């Protein structure tokens, strides 16, 4: 065996010896099982390295082993290798070195789905809808979105060559881009709505989130000293730093008030987090917008405001992540993020989902959730997220509209729209007026869009393909297909207003990026309108908080 292979084995053994040291922290009756299995793991790798017909990559193999081990835990306990450290940095700081794009699989091709304003990609001229062909002369076919984003990240000022296929262009396009620091603003948009209400969007609880919310509020207060209410938008906000959640609660509730208690295996680490300063405004009416992807720190803020009867929560039931993670440096510029405790908000409830399926929380019926009380005596439930005071249905709760999104029809149509229109009106005044064209786009044969009913019928036909159908039955099948197409037309008409809003939002994002999309959303948003209506009616606002 050569020296290089010996060093690989020694390196792996060293890691496992260090891991083995952890055995001394577990009860004696588990020590033998732990050391035995660590030794088995070491011996398997040693034999693979010595005898397997091809060379094995130690980094890749150990990473697979680690990730398989962590799958036995919850979805939030994760390993970050040296190559993933920029991903970790983004999660904690909202910054990373890269080019500033998001990608997703559309018809088997990784496609740019979002571009951050003023990022290297934005400045270089990449566009949403561009299809990735290669990165640094390496074909990206078959790679996942996670793989591609990991490749795109790297040290600042390092160059990267990207080849794309752009709709409407016959030749591929090349971009030589300098990676740079991409700073994702945690408060990307704020404005006065209806002149009297402060709207503030918070997308993640990274460093300075509280400071940026306060700065946004002060800026709007300077424009209108008589602001009548605050709308804090936490939709799609997956959480972040616990301290920022505590401090954001402190913007609206007084000093020395309990925000969250954390409890875990190590009792000495249990903590109670309280507000430490005077509030930004303890009396102004507050509404908080949440949806099914509002998680963790978002649920702390919305839950605490609800528990103290301090504001009205509007939207859909939140995600259900009542867990706290701590991050540990494990050497070689790698880290592990481990769930160490659950958190409990002032009413005593924990909003953590009880179980998961495919990494997503399983919905818990209200009948199985325990009842707690807010400060004023309102009933609230634990487990499975925060339930809003005002529930609002959304397009993704309409199966037909969700199917359009799942099959990327809104995205694809917007890409074609941009080819035909160099400019559009401002985000708050743009109107999409050619719905018939969109309908024809969806109904075209080459579009291959199937409604839920069509999908089930197609599945049935595939399963019955070996059956020799009679002529009469074949005629009936054609009749059913025709009726399904007619039904699809009816659903396109019935959901016209909802679909037009989704189209307008997607089209606006192509010309004005995230800030423009948010600006459009605020002026057309059902939940923002609901928030204004509630705060403008003091008796209704107070009734919700006292019922």
- List, for residues 35-63, the tens digit of each pLDDT value: 888 889 889 888 988 888 888 888 888 88
CATH of the domain at 170: 2.30.42.10
How far, in Å, CA of 302 to CA of 318, rounded? Answer: 9
Predicted confidence (pLDDT) at residue 11 exceeds the cutoff of 80: no
At 103 the pLDDT is 94
Kindly report, residue by residue over 243-255, the tens digit of the pLDDT: 999 999 999 999 9
- Structural domain includes residue 194: no
| Domain span holding position 132 | 95-183
Structure tokens at 473: 């039955």
Kindly report, residue by residue over 215-233, the tens digit of the pLDDT: 999 999 999 999 999 999 9
Of 165, 106, 139, 196, the closest CA to residue 411 belongs to 106
3-state secondary structure of 323: strand
Is 340 found in the same domain as 228? Answer: yes
Split into its structural domains, the chain has a count of 4
Buried b (16+ CB within 10 A) or exposed e, 36-73: eebeebbeebeeebeeeeeeeebeeebbeebeeebeee
Which residues are CB-contacts of 192 (< 8 A; sequence separation ≥ 6)? 198, 199, 220, 223, 224, 227
Mean pLDDT over 474-502 rounds to: 84
- Structural domain includes residue 476: no
Higher pLDDT, 24 or 465: 465
Mean pLDDT over 202-211 rounds to: 94
CB–CB of 135/152 below 8 Å?
yes
Is 411 found in the same domain as 387? Answer: no
Q: How confident is the model at residue 190 (pLDDT cuts 50, 70, 90)?
A: very high
CB–CB of 362/368 below 8 Å?
no
Higher pLDDT, 289 or 362: 289
Q: Quickly list H helices, 82-191.
A: 85-93, 120-124, 145-152
Is 166 found in the same domain as 44? Answer: no
Mean pLDDT over 264-274 rounds to: 90
Predicted confidence (pLDDT) at residue 99 exceeds the cutoff of 90: yes
Is 419 found in the same domain as 376? Answer: no
In the block, residue with structure tokens 């078959």: 142
Is 234 found in the same domain as 266? Answer: yes
Which residues are CB-contacts of 186 (< 8 A; sequence separation ≥ 6)? 94, 202, 203, 204, 205, 206, 208, 209, 212
> 33-47, 167-181, 338-352: which range is least confident on average?
33-47
- Structural domain includes residue 403: yes
Predicted confidence (pLDDT) at residue 325 exceeds the cutoff of 90: no
Is 361 found in the same domain as 254? Answer: yes
At 10 the pLDDT is 45
Predicted confidence (pLDDT) at residue 23 exceeds the cutoff of 60: no
DSSP string, 273-286: EE--S--S-SSS-E
- Structural domain includes residue 375: yes
Mean pLDDT over 509-530 rounds to: 92
At 3 the pLDDT is 44
In the block, residue with structure tokens 């606006």: 508
At 228 the pLDDT is 97
Mean pLDDT over 123-141 rounds to: 95
Q: Mean pLDDT over all residues of the chain? A: 86
- Structural domain includes residue 238: yes
Q: How confident is the model at residue 125 (pLDDT cuts 50, 70, 90)?
A: very high
Mean pLDDT over 309-328 rounds to: 92
Predicted confidence (pLDDT) at residue 84 exceeds the cutoff of 70: no
> 14-23, 55-64, 260-269, 383-392: which range is least confident on average?
14-23
CB–CB of 287/261 below 8 Å?
no
Predicted confidence (pLDDT) at residue 493 exceeds the cutoff of 50: yes
At 5 the pLDDT is 45
CATH of the domain at 301: 3.90.226.10
| % of the chain at pLDDT higher than 70 | 87
For 116-172, strand residue ranges (E) read: 131-135, 138-139, 159-165
Q: Quickly list H helices, 110-183.
A: 120-124, 145-152
């Amino acid at each position: 065996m050569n020296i290089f292979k010996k060093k690989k084995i020694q390196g792996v053994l060293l890691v496992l010896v260090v891991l083995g040291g952890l055995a001394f922290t577990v009860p004696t009756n588990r020590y033998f099982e732990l050391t035995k299995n660590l030794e088995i793991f070491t011996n398997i790798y040693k034999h693979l390295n010595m005898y397997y017909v091809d060379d094995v990559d130690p980094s890749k193999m150990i990473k697979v082993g680690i990730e398989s081990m962590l799958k036995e835990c919850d979805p939030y306990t994760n390993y970050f290798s040296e190559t993933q450290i920029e991903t970790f940095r983004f999660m904690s700081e909202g910054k990373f070195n890269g080019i500033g794009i998001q990608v997703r699989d559309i018809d088997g091709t990784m496609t740019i789905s979002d571009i951050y304003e003023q990022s290297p990609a934005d400045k270089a001229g990449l566009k949403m809808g561009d299809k990735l062909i290669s990165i640094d002369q390496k074909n990206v076919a078959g790679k996942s979105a996670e793989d591609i984003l990991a490749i795109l990240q790297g040290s600042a000022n390092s160059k990267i060559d990207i080849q794309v296929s752009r709709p409407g262009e016959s030749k591929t396009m090349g971009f030589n881009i300098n990676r740079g620091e991409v700073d994702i603003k945690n408060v990307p948009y704020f404005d006065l709505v209806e002149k009297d209400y402060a709207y503030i969007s918070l997308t993640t609880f990274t460093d300075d989130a509280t400071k940026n919310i306060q700065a946004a509020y002060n800026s709007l207060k300077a424009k209108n000293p008589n602001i009548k209410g605050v709308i804090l938008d936490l939709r799609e906000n997956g959480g972040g730093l616990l301290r920022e959640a505590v401090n954001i609660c402190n913007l609206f509730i007084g000093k020395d008030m309990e925000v969250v208690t954390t409890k875990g295996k190590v009792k000495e680490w249990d903590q109670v987090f309280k507000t430490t300063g005077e509030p930004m405004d303890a009396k102004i009416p507050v509404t908080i917008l949440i949806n099914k992807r509002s998680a963790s720190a978002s649920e702390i803020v919305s839950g605490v405001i609800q528990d103290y009867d301090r504001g009205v929560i509007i939207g859909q039931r939140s995600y259900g992540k009542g867990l706290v993670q701590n991050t540990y440096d494990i050497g070689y510029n790698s880290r592990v993020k481990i769930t160490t405790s659950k958190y409990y908000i002032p009413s005593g409830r924990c909003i953590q989902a009880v179980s998961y399926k495919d990494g997503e929380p399983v919905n818990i019926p209200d009948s199985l959730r325990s009842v707690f009380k807010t400060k004023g005596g309102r009933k609230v439930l634990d487990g499975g997220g925060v339930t809003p005071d005002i529930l609002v249905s959304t397009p993704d709760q309409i199966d037909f509209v969700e199917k359009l999104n799942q099959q990327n029809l809104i995205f694809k149509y917007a890409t074609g729209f941009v080819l035909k229109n160099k400019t559009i009106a401002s985000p708050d005044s743009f109107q999409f007026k050619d719905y018939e064209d969109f309908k024809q786009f969806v109904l075209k044969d080459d579009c291959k869009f199937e409604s839920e009913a069509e999908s089930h019928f197609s599945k049935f036909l595939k399963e019955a393909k070996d059956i020799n159908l009679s002529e009469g039955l074949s005629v009936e099948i054609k009749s059913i297909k025709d009726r399904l197409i007619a039904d699809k037309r009816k659903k396109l008409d019935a959901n016209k207003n909802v679909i037009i809003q989704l189209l307008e939002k997607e089209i606006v994002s192509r010309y004005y990026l995230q800030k423009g999309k948010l600006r459009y959303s605020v002026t057309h948003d059902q939940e923002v309108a609901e928030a204004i209506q509630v705060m403008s009616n003091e008796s209704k606002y107070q009734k919700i908080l006292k019922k």
